[in-house]
A and B are shown apart, each in its own frame.
Chain A
Amino acid sequence: MTSASFQVPASEDTAEPLLELHFTACADRLKLIRDSIRATARMCGFDDGTAQSIVLAVDEACQNIIVHGYGERGEGIVILGLYRSDAGILVRLRDFAPRVDPTKVKPRALNDVRPGKLGSYFIREIMDTVEFRPGPEGKGNLLEMTKHTGEPQ
């Protein structure tokens, strides 16, 4: 499983692979991951504030895999791929947990103030596109997200 890696999707065939990280799905790895995402986002041309927002969105997606994907089944492997695209940054997140039903990944209403269910809201609010796909060969899940720099292409 850990030998799996990404191919740049056809829709982003000009995207440049910048970083691919394979890590165990446990909470104490997230700070290490965040530092890498921040540096990569800056390399893609985002300012500090937007880079920090991208860090939050990807971090929340990783948390969803840790807590809801693998959950009580224990630690699994996560593969994070970061690409520089013409539009900004492309993020691909692969896991080998049971398939996610995207229709069930819903944030709570913001006026319903209670603990939890904010992670998915952060992801969709921060990123420009968010797409859940089945993992290659029908194994696990593939989450693909993009964030655009907003600069003329």
Chain B
Amino acid sequence: MSKSDKPQQEPSVVRLAGSVDLEHAPDVRKMLLDAVALGRNVLVDLSAASYIDSSGIACLIEALQKARSAGADLGLVAVSIQAMRVLELARLDMVFPIHDDIAAATAADA
């Protein structure tokens, strides 16, 4: 995340668990956009996300773009193996800030 213009508050943390897929995309999208609307940086914990598809990825991209347009950022934390495979396949591992855990993300943002 950019250190020069980042919000100074604690990041909002959104934990996604289970299938982040077409069925759950409307709920995931609302959770992410609600977090972005708080105006802080957002960390999305994917450690318990057992599956993610293009619908889930679309939610993450939309939230990332809205966060950045508002002067904040959105990072991914503890990305599961399956989710990382999908991110790499779409070459989005170069787009999202990715951290091992919340502590590492917070330290990187300090």
Contact = CB atoms under 8 A, between A and B. Distances in A.
Chain B interface size band reads 20 to 34
Nearest to B90: A118
Contacts of B53: 56, 59-60, 63, 119
Given A27-B21, A52-B82, A52-B85, A34 B51 contact: yes
A4 interface: no
Nearest to A66: B22
Nearest to A116: B58
Given A34-B51, A53-B85, A115-B59, A63 B90 contact: no
A119 B53 CA distance: 8
Nearest to B22: A27
B108 interface: no
B58 to A, nearest CB: 4
Contacts of B82: 52
A70 interface: no
Say what secondary structure dominates the interface of chain B: helix
Interface of A: 27-28, 30-31, 34, 49, 52-53, 56, 59-60, 63, 66-67, 110, 113-116, 118-119, 121-122, 125-126
A118 B58 contact: yes
B16 interface: no
B49 interface: no
Contacts, number: 57
Determine which residue in A59, A66, A115, A122 has the highest number of CB atoms from chain B within 10 A of its CB, and name it.
A115
Q: Which 5 A-B pairs have the closest CB atoms?
A: A115-B58, A27-B23, A118-B54, A119-B54, A27-B22
A118 B91 CA distance: 11
Interface of B: 19, 21-23, 51, 53-55, 57-59, 61-62, 65, 82, 85-86, 89-92, 95
15 contacts: A27-B23, A28-B23, A30-B22, A30-B23, A31-B21, A60-B53, A63-B22, A63-B53, A110-B90, A115-B59, A118-B58, A121-B90, A122-B54, A122-B89, A125-B89
Contacts of A126: 89
B65 A60 contact: no
B109 to A, nearest CB: 22
B23 A114 contact: no
Given A116-B54, A122-B89, 11 more contacts: A30-B22, A30-B23, A52-B85, A53-B89, A56-B53, A113-B65, A115-B58, A115-B62, A115-B65, A118-B54, A118-B90
